Amino acid sequence: MKSFAANFTRLLGEALTEQNLAHVEHFFLAGPTVAKCILPYKLYVRKMAVACGKISMMYSRLTANAIILGFNALKHLVQWQQDDENMFETIMKKMYNEFARESRTGGGGFDV
């Protein structure tokens, strides 16, 4: 399970650094289940939570499904990881910084 957690977070991080973000959605098709598998490993929980926070704010580069599935996984991580008091604050700071970065680059939002 530890190797799964390590590989999942590593691949997710690599996927977020690529120019083509079309496949990020596939990482979170079973988001809550993946979150349960990663829960015993605090380091990987934090890495996944920060990545999910980043995904939640990348509104101009990701599809709506990817954002919703990433946020759903983040919600479950925060609910189940209640013994780490600083995790929520860390994720909120990451989300704020990512939103500011996305807004600065002129992120256009969704077509209505």
- The pLDDT tens digits of the residues spanning 45-68 come to 989 998 888 888 888 788 888 889
pLDDT of res. 112: 43
Say whether 22 sits in a helix, a strand or coil.
Answer: coil
pLDDT of res. 109: 52
CA 66 to chain centroid: 10
Where the chain has pLDDT below 70, the residues are 105-112
Question: Is the Cβ–Cβ distance between 95 and 56 less than 8 Å?
Answer: yes
pTM comes to 0.80
pLDDT of res. 15: 87
